[in-house]
Structure 1
Amino acid sequence: MYTVDLHNHTKFSYDGSNTPEEIIENAIRHGVDVIGITDHQFSIGENLPIYYEYIQHCKIKYADQIKVLCGLEIGTRPTPPESLPRATENFDYVLFECLDDTRAIDFYEFLEWRKLFKCKAGLAHTDIFKLGERYGLDIIKILRDNDIFWELNTSGNYIYYYDFLTNEKKQQIIKESGIPVSVGSDTHYIAEYRKKQIRRANELLQKLNIPLP
């Protein structure tokens, strides 16, 4: 089975406990094929170039053991800095978090803002079905048309993840839509790494032939 984990935090985040190397080596021990580092944009601040170069170094260091991707988790409560699209143009992807929160950036405004990003973009910590109901929109079509992938967050803190694992109707909607879906552990401390949950989510997506980003 091909295993990806595209949501991890390091000491570059205010709430991360491990170095990027420790996160990557932990993923190698658990048989992960692709590991994404996605530290908080508001923690890194003006040090984005340093963060980016550090992860590039890790890509080279571990190239013969695992594929490392450089991502960034962007807060949407409130609207993020206008400089981010240009600052992340060479990143592998970015994750916008909590768009279904009532305090988040307006969804229509977000769609216009997303167009400024050259890298891949995904939604983390977001129940897209709930988001669609809130705005009265065909959210799946909008994500597909705007080249936005969805993340299944396995940290245990988000009900939408458990719902998707058992809701065959929603699984079929996502499968037929063709939108990519990623898996993220949201790791902040490797001692709490949820290996079984990561494997289960990856297995489900591959069983349904749902594409990865």
Structure 2
Amino acid sequence: MLACDLHVHTSYSRDGESSVEEILRQAAAEGLDAIAITDHDSVEGAKKALTIPSPVLVIPGIEVSTKQGHLLVLGVTEVIPAGLDVVTTVRIAREMNALAILPHPYHVWRHGVARRKKVGMNVVDAVEVFNSRYIVGSANKKAARIAKRLGKPCVGGSDAHNAKFVGFGRTYVDAEKNVPAILDAIRAGRVSYGGRKTPLRTYTRQSINNTWRKIKRITRHIQLR
């Protein structure tokens, strides 16, 4: 079984705090076999990671901001446009032979698609049912319960925005150590998941910083009008 973290951000995300190099070093230190670099609406971090020698396999990906919320797409090095309906975004991902995963589908304030569009759970290839950035865990439990009812493969990810939390969420995949084999195994449900919680103080600090960034962007937009 391969130990994988399928949801990792680098400094190429606006709220990412660590360089690609730092992410890869931490992934190796954590004993991970593979990580997916999934920056917000950018593949630049993933593309850079692919050029850096590492014992950790890099699965290139992106976290797309769809009309209803976030969607992880793994196996791509091209940007998928933001702002489209999630069903349309999944269709584009499939045309690219990529894997579509619904991350944190029921997390409040985390752009969870399933809180806005019920069909979202039905159209994806897998559902993230363990996200390490939570307070009480009820959203993870609800995602797991509904994903299993729908027969969707259940995966885990750290959603790390800082290198020290890489590996806090994991997916264990029964596959050879290469990207196509891992993605096929996830589709087939040859996976299990686990992990540990990101410290509350870190989650809170990152949430506050994100809120301030949004306020500043809105303020700048108003001033420029």
Aligned mates of 1:13, 1:211 — CA distance in 2: 30
Aligned partner of 1:84 in structure 2 is none
Aligned mates of 2:166, 2:75 — CA distance in 1: 30
The answer to whether the aligner puts 1:122 opposite 2:118 as a matched pair is no
| Structure with a larger share of its residues in helix | 1
Give the drift of 1:172.
Answer: 4.5
Aligned mates of 2:28, 2:147 — CA distance in 1: 29
Aligned partner of 2:149 in structure 1 is 173
TM superposition outliers: structure 1 runs of 4+ over 3 Å:
50-53, 77-80, 92-97, 104-118, 130-140, 162-165
1:34, 1:69 within 8 Å by CA — same for their partners in 2? yes
Aligned partner of 1:68 in structure 2 is 58
Structure 2: where are the runs of 5+ without partners?
174-187, 193-225
Aligned partner of 2:126 in structure 1 is 149
Aligned mates of 1:38, 1:138 — CA distance in 2: 19
Summarize deviations over 1:156-206 as a string: whole Å, max 9, x none.
1674214456x5xx47525xx2x3333210111123x175x525x759xxx
SS at match of 1:3: strand
Aligned mates of 1:51, 1:67 — CA distance in 2: 14
Aligned partner of 1:3 in structure 2 is 3
Aligned length: 170
Give the direction of change, closer, same or farther, for the CA distance of 1:33–1:106 in structure 2 (3 Å limit).
same
SS at match of 2:8: coil
Give, as a single letter, the amino acid of the residue that structure 2 aligns with 1:118: N
CA-based RMSD of the aligned residues comes to 4.3
Q: What's the TM-score, normalizing by structure 1?
A: 0.59
* Identical pairs, percent: 22
Give the drift of 1:9.
Answer: 0.9
Structure 1: where are the runs of 5+ without partners?
81-87, 98-103, 204-208
The answer to whether the aligner puts 1:188 opposite 2:164 as a matched pair is no
Give the drift of 1:108.
Answer: 4.8
